Chains A and B, each alone.
Chain A
């Protein structure tokens, strides 16, 4: 299937020189223009600003006060809140997409959060660092220390991340709660998508992060690596 073309490997045409994160560009490409999006754990609003520049109506939730205030000062509609507790307040089908970008591992109840995402949004886009990444494995295997990377620099005792998983773990969770995977992409440490025809174990070993477009399962479907069902 023609996936390669749909991956925005160059920044979108904008007048600013702002460099967008590779996973943000990938996520933004999964969102249909004109839709309504909730970004859970939106940080300082980089992804939201990218989406709004593409005509997407965005709302955000962010735990840190600094992040929220930064977003508001950028003109974004962001509320201070906690993904673990505040998502209950959102009505079903309130959004077209709910995005959880690099936040899943910091939630107390990832499974509940994931179920909430797909209740509030028609679709969910989830990206997370892959703990099965070869560098992670080697750090534990060879150094005997809890792994740290450029993207996850915190030490084990002061990290906000409490629930790490691998791409394989996430796929199994999606299977368990009957979530349909519409699209799955693994990115290497430079944010480039891995080979699309590689087997899952290859993604789990060499993907530094996984990005998944999910929807509520009407019937069970499992995406193969690189599999892409047009929305």
Chain B
């Protein structure tokens, strides 16, 4: 038996956030010059590190490991209070003791993706060759690169075959990539609210966000760490635009309607008269405190480049041919970022490849973000799928 518990790293304060890129507040796997990460862009990245968090206990035959793949701007702290921000974990509805991803039963791993700024090597990390922050000198990262790095971490943990790989949105793309790149290492997979390629509309939204960042004079062509100014305004606008795509009109209406903020009448100005405006401004400003602008550029780019079929001569089904992995694909009715037809395309390709696949569309008005929220129908499906997969894998209630 191997016991792994979340370990707190050096305590950092909010102001030292760029520091977190090099010294994260979680476990770290470091890979030296002899173990480079082969990137799709042709660069061998070395040395590099991956920050990760684990929950639960790995069983004796190492058959109960679940890899959780986080979404775009989230991090490895899926089921614990974030040591710096003090905010609850990103996926507490799904991960934890007694939850569908039951940390009493499974050994849960979540790594910060390569290219992010929460402890895995990325543009906010220090370039060992120059001693300065990478910035735009950092090579462009793809979803397959992220997955390759995760595979090296999983190797490091001594796990041959993951019981399940699960994730939503960008995490869902990683799940799909895992099942295509390492089919024999994935017993079951749960791609949620995602697609096998990023749509033109989604690329357009990402470009809007990137342009907002790059239009901020403080961005300084990506060298803002040296100037000491952070492109707060540009990044906040990018986040506001993105945040709208995570919600739905119905959810925004239910939450805010056209209600005014702290006033009865419009001020006939460009103050945040409407509640929805101040909500978005808050979302934007709290985001810039925790996220690196260049990382945002790199991660959105990685999603844009994602296209599984393109790597298989345009035939999606070829990517999944002969797979033995059990799949559960989930979409949400009001998700307009990754609408149900995108999930259906995954399912058709899996079916054509003869895969054992379940697919459910969950009715909700909460939009794309629903996969992180308490949606009882979704929670039930996740629990049932994992339980039946665990039974097929021969795992008992205690994960042995």
Contact = CB atoms under 8 A, between A and B. Distances in A.
B229 interface: no
Contacts of A91: 352
A161 interface: no
Interface string A71-83: 1111111111100
B357 A75 contact: no
A80 B360 CA distance: 6
Nearest to A61: B351
14 contacts: A59-B351, A65-B360, A68-B360, A69-B360, A69-B381, A72-B384, A73-B380, A73-B384, A75-B387, A79-B357, A80-B360, A89-B352, A90-B351, A94-B351
A222 to B, nearest CB: 33
A71 B388 CA distance: 11
B365 to A, nearest CB: 15
A114 B311 CA distance: 35
A86 interface: yes
CB-based closest 9 A-B pairs: A75-B388, A73-B384, A79-B359, A89-B348, A72-B358, A77-B356, A79-B347, A77-B358, A69-B360
B347 A72 contact: no
B359 A65 contact: no
B358 A76 contact: yes
Nearest to A68: B360
Contacts of A68: 358-361
Interface in A66-121: 68-69, 71-81, 86, 89-91, 94
B359 A59 contact: no
Nearest to A58: B356
Interface in A30-55: none
Summarize A's interface: helix, strand, loop or mixed. mixed
B52 to A, nearest CB: 30
B80 to A, nearest CB: 28
B363 A65 contact: yes
B347 to A, nearest CB: 5
Interface in A178-216: none
A74 B329 CA distance: 15
A77 B359 CA distance: 8
A94 B355 CA distance: 11
B374 interface: no
Contacts of A76: 358
B170 interface: no
A59 B359 CA distance: 11
Given A75-B388, A77-B356, 15 more contacts: A59-B351, A65-B360, A65-B361, A65-B363, A68-B359, A69-B380, A71-B358, A72-B360, A72-B381, A73-B381, A75-B387, A77-B326, A79-B347, A81-B344, A81-B347
Contacts of B388: 74-75
Contacts, number: 64
B328 interface: yes
A182 B26 CA distance: 64
Contacts of B106: none
Contact of B354 (A69, A72, A94): A94
Given A69-B380, A89-B352, A90-B352, A77 B360 contact: no
B259 to A, nearest CB: 32
Contacts of A79: 329, 347, 351, 357-359
**Contact-residue size bin, chain A (C-beta under 8 Å from the other chain):** 20 to 34
**Contact-residue size bin, chain B (C-beta under 8 Å from the other chain):** 20 to 34
Contacts of A75: 384-385, 387-388, 391
B289 interface: no
A86 B385 contact: no
A91 B351 CA distance: 9
B357 A77 contact: yes
Interface in B370-400: 377, 380-381, 383-385, 387-388, 391
B388 to A, nearest CB: 3
Contacts of A94: 351-352, 354
Contacts of B348: 86, 89
Given A69-B377, A75-B388, A86-B348, A80 B359 contact: yes
A47 B385 CA distance: 19
Contacts of A69: 360, 362, 377, 380-381
A152 B360 CA distance: 27
Contacts of A77: 326, 356-358
Contacts of B347: 79, 81
A68 B381 CA distance: 10
Nearest to A69: B360
Contacts of B344: 80-81
Contacts of A78: 358-359
Contacts of A81: 344, 347, 359
A81 B329 CA distance: 13
B394 to A, nearest CB: 14
A72 B385 contact: yes
A59 B326 CA distance: 12
A74 B387 CA distance: 10
A75 B358 CA distance: 9
A174 B391 CA distance: 42
Interface string B323-334: 000101100000
A75 B328 CA distance: 10
A100 to B, nearest CB: 17
Nearest to B388: A75
B240 to A, nearest CB: 32
A50 B399 CA distance: 27
A94 B358 CA distance: 17
A79 B343 CA distance: 11
A74 B391 CA distance: 12
A72 B381 CA distance: 6
